[in-house]
């Protein structure tokens, strides 16, 4: 008894310690995520995002699949048990979060297009608004992924092929399509046109295929997703070096004899009254029924507009970092190109590298680039000059100004080479001559999201479960003459040989129940993408997870002849039943808690902003003191206090709030501020304090009921172990007592 008690104490205390550690780590993570989201909201991006992930909190079940599946870490995170958008500006449109969400809670909505004049007005088929037959694909559509450009090119080729079939043969000398740009989008479109048997030409101002990718630095890694190319199929490799990808493209172009003309500069495309386009180039004119513009967005490099930017040691691209050694180098910019340039130059022998960016953080970087850049900065191999702008560039130095603390600091930096990686000015004016509009007013209304109105898989799962229960009930009623007897009386019944647990149908029920349990647990492989399991829609897997759970219980009932005994098999059955119940509770019963907590979190964010604005309006030292005191108060109440301390505060003994308000009143009197100003500051502080307490309590309650998930997981492990014991015992009994016949 003493040993059992000691072991029980160890298990209970160890689990309690692990739970407390996990809880504190989760709170620290949530606090960091919310602080990062608030910081991102305060920053001004270079341009509004074209695609923004949106979370429907009424549907989100908090599985976190969207977070783990997103290749761009930092866009999404879990807050209060549900997905939340942290950095929408870092979303580049992979749409993996949309495809992987099992309940249809994630959509990619169009961003603030009314603030952007660099996004062409296109229909859903990528045809330019107002110019029939003119298509745009690739980077010019403001979507920079190679995978996206490839999909767009293949889709456009299929659209043109359908139009050509409907219109009939073209006139002599008129191509079915002219494709401008031999990057990933243009090449995919050309391969698609070849696949559909179209008459087309592929043009590019460069003499070789590759587009913008060809201008990437040497050995730069590209792609994060497999792509599908017409006439080639799926390219399963997830990462290529630049040279490898271009070699693949050029091999495909040669193998399929694509009609490529390099060194041809596109000027404009004019559509005649008969629907035929006249394509103007520096090598003459071409005629085509369709034109596909697949040019990049870089165009001419963006200038800084400062003295000295035309000096010979100022460059706007880096092709080979190995040619720069023992140099003082300044990189200007904060995007991925600037980071990759700085990283490549920092790897060369003897280089001293600095990177200057006008924002206060590198929030536009992809995760891999940001992590590598931060590591090199921490190692001292790259100097980061944030909130810094270039004033002038000299022969061997650069004049800069750094903003901070309400003032400016002049800096001078030695620089043998300066790389300006501030993006480029896309050829919008040139494209507008072809009938392409960049006016935000011309953007058509977006089509409804594909998963809008999705039931999230709950309805089919419940329907499947109900059908299985009805079938089981029907089978039991059909054989009620056997199942209605006591366990002792069943041995004499004629159906006993058929339905007993270790013979015939009864044994097969047990084997099928085991198979259903294995299939049920396979959901974890798909959800966590273990061992590369990624096929199929996760919503289908979740429906199967629920259905196989109900099926396993029903088959186990029949296997136990509707009378589970106090054996390993009986214990496994009851563990399976409890597992089913806790799973249902964890999924649907307490789903309202995360929604309530996140709703209150949004309310708290709004109150924080209002309190900050009110304090700023008060101005001076008092305003700064208000901001500091309110921030500290809210942070302490939401994250720093214990549950019991928050309970005392919630019940009215708000000691810390009273102290803060008293200090602020005294400071206001000393500053001679008007009473109405002080009243506004104090009212906002009270409202934010009350909301912070509410959010913290909802999070406590969510964590308490979230124990259901822990119970669910531990019961699953227990059930599997007991089931294993049951199977082993059944096999041994069959071998030892029935000569091996089960």
Nearest to 419 by CA among 334, 525, 477: 334
pLDDT of residue 735: 44
Please give the domain boundaries of the chain with CATH numbers for all domains.
Answer: 2-115 (3.30.70.20), 134-300+428-439 (3.50.50.60), 311-422 (3.50.50.60), 458-589+710-737 (no CATH), 592-705 (no CATH)
pLDDT digits (tens, 9 = 90+) for 29-38: 777 777 777 7
pLDDT of residue 615: 73
553 three-class SS: helix
pLDDT of residue 614: 75
Nearest to 417 by CA among 392, 390, 402, 398: 398
pLDDT digits (tens, 9 = 90+) for 657-691: 777 778 878 787 777 777 777 788 778 787 887 78
pLDDT of residue 292: 95
Dist. CA 316–CA 659, nearest whole Å: 57
Residues of the chain with pLDDT under 70: 1, 11, 15-16, 19, 22-23, 41-50, 110-115, 214-225, 298-300, 405-406, 446-459, 531-532, 585-596, 599, 639-654, 704-711, 734-742
Dist. CA 699–CA 696, nearest whole Å: 5
pLDDT of residue 499: 87
Instruction: Return the structure tokens found at 173.
Output: 């000398």
Residue 705 C-alpha from the chain's centroid? 27
Residue 670 C-alpha from the chain's centroid? 50
Instruction: Return the structure tokens found at 284.
Output: 């003459």
The DSSP secondary-structure symbol of 280 reads E
pLDDT of residue 200: 95
- Is the pTM value of this prediction over 0.75? no
DSSP secondary structure string for all residues of 305-332: --TTTTSTTEES--S-GGG--S-EEEEE
The torsion angle over the Cα atoms of residues 543, 547, 550 and 556, rounded to 10 degrees, is: -140
């Amino acid at each position: 008894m003493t040993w059992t008690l000691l072991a029980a104490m160890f298990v209970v205390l160890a689990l309690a310690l692990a739970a407390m550690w996990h809880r504190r780590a989760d709170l620290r993570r949530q606090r960091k995520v919310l602080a990062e989201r608030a910081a991102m909201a305060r920053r001004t991006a270079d341009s509004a995002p074209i695609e923004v992930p949106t979370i429907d909190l009424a549907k989100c079940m908090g599985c976190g699949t969207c977070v783990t599946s997103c290749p761009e870490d930092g866009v999404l995170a879990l807050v209060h048990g549900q997905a939340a958008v942290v950095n929408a500006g870092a979303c580049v449109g992979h749409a993996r979060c949309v495809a992987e969400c099992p309940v249809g809670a994630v959509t990619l909505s169009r961003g603030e297009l009314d603030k952007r004049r660099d996004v062409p007005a296109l229909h859903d088929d990528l045809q330019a608004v107002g110019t029939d037959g003119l298509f745009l694909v690739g980077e010019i559509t403001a979507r920079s992924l190679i995978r996206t450009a490839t999909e767009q090119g293949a889709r456009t080729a299929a659209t043109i092929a359908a139009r050509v079939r409907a219109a009939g043969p073209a006139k002599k000398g008129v191509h079915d399509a002219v494709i401008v740009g031999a990057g990933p989008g243009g090449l995919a479109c050309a391969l698609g046109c070849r696949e559909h048997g179209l008459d087309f030409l592929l043009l590019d101002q460069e003499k070789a295929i590759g587009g913008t990718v060809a201008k990437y630095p040497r050995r730069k890694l590209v792609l994060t997703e497999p792509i599908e190319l017409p006439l080639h199929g799926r390219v399963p490799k997830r990462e290529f070096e630049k040279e490898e990808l271009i070699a693949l493209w050029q091999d495909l172009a040669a193998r399929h004899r694509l009609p490529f003309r390099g060194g041809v500069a596109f000027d404009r495309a004019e559509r005649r009254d008969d629907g035929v386009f006249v394509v103007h180039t520096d090598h003459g004119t071409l005629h085509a029924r369709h034109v596909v513009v697949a040019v990049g967005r870089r165009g001419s490099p963006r200038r800084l507009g400062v003295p000295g930017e035309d000096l010979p040691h100022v460059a706007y691209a880096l092709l080979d970092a190995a040619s720069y050694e023992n140099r003082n180098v300044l990189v200007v910019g904060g995007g991925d190109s600037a980071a990759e340039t700085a990283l490549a130059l920092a790897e060369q022998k003897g280089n001293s590298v600095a990177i200057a960016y006008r924002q206060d953080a590198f929030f536009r970087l992809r995760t891999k680039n940001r992590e590598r850049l931060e590591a090199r900065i921490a190692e001292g191999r790259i100097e980061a000059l944030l909130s810094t702008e270039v004033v002038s560039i000299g022969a061997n130095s650069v004049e800069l100004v750094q903003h901070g603390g309400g003032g400016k600091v002049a800096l001078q930096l030695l620089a043998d080479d300066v790389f300006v990686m501030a993006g480029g000015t896309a050829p919008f004016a040139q494209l507008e001559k072809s009938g392409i509009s960049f006016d935000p007013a011309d953007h058509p209304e977006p089509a409804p999201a594909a998963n809008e109105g999705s039931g999230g898989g709950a309805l089919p799962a419940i329907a499947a479960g109900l059908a299985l229960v009805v079938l089981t009930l029907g089978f039991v009623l059909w054989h009620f003459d056997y199942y209605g007897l006591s366990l002792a009386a069943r041995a004499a019944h004629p159906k006993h040989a058929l339905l007993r647990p270790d013979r015939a149908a009864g044994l097969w029920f047990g084997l099928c129940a085991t198979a259903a349990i294995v299939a049920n647990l396979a959901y974890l492989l798909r959800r966590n993408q273990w061992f590369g399991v990624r096929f199929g829609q996760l919503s289908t897997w979740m429906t199967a997870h629920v259905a196989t759970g109900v099926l396993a219980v029903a088959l186990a009932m029949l296997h136990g002849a509707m009378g589970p005994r106090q054996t390993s098999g009986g214990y496994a059955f009851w563990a399976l039943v409890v597992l089913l119940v806790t799973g249902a509770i964890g999924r649907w019963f307490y789903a309202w808690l995360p929604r309530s907590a996140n709703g209150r979190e949004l309310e708290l964010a709004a109150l924080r902003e209002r309190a900050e604005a009110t304090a700023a309006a008060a101005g001076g030292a008092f305003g700064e003191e208000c901001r500091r005191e309110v921030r500290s108060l809210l942070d302490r109440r939401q994250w720093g206090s214990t549950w019991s301390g928050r309970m005392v505060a919630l019940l009215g003994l708000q000691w810390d709030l009273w102290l803060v308000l008293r200090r602020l009143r005294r400071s206001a009197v000393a500053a001679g501020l008007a009473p109405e100003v002080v009243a506004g500051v104090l009212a906002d502080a009270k409202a934010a304090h009350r909301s912070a307490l509410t959010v913290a309590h909802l999070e406590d309650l969510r964590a308490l009921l979230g124990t259901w998930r822990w119970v669910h997981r531990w019961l699953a492990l227990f059930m599997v172990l007991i089931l294993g014991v049951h199977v082993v015992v059944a096999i041994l009994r069959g071998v030892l007592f029935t000569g091996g016949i089960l």
